[in-house]
Copies of this chain bind each other. A is one copy, B any other.
Amino acid sequence: MAQVRVTRKERFNAAHRLHNPDKSDAWNRETFGKCNSANFHGHNYTLEVTVVGEPSPDTGYVIDLAELKSIMHERVIDIVDHSNLNLDVPFLDGVMPSTENFAVAIWQQLEGHITGGRLASVRLIETDKNSVEYCGE
């Protein structure tokens, strides 16, 4: 009854800016620097979703990774790919799209929709040097 973690990686591209509308423009510029640029900037995001569970005796799968890919696309990628995270994404409405907040929102999009095993981790890589991970706690 081994508990195995399986991870699927998908990529998408999006524009965003960091801006807290409850604060002054000066506060935003000082706090977020160039990440506050008025006309947005963008990233190639890498999303890694990990599911944990016991492999099925019939298939050897915790979850068919093709199915996990479909769930990730339907619930997240198809909504955010080639979008503006501040303007275009219903599940980010009212959420400042820091990588931290974005990862938590992706967890909420996926939770309850995983058809085998249980959601264990959402990792979001924003640049070569910056990444975040949320494990639902």
Known: A8-B130, A41-B13, A42-B13. A2 touches B65 (CB 8 A): no
Instruction: Give the interface size class of chain A.
Output: 35 or more
A residues within 8 Å of B by Cβ?
Answer: 2-11, 13-16, 18, 20, 23, 31-35, 37, 39-44, 55, 58-62, 64-66, 69, 81-84, 87-88, 95-101, 103-104, 127-135, 137
A126 CB to nearest chain B CB (Å): 8
**Copies assembled:** 6
Tell whether, in the assembled complex, residue A133 and residue B5 are in contact, meaning their CB atoms are under 8 Å apart.
yes
Tell whether, in the assembled complex, residue A4 and residue B133 are in contact, meaning their CB atoms are under 8 Å apart.
yes
Known: A39-B88, A40-B84, A100-B61. A129 touches B13 (CB 8 A): no
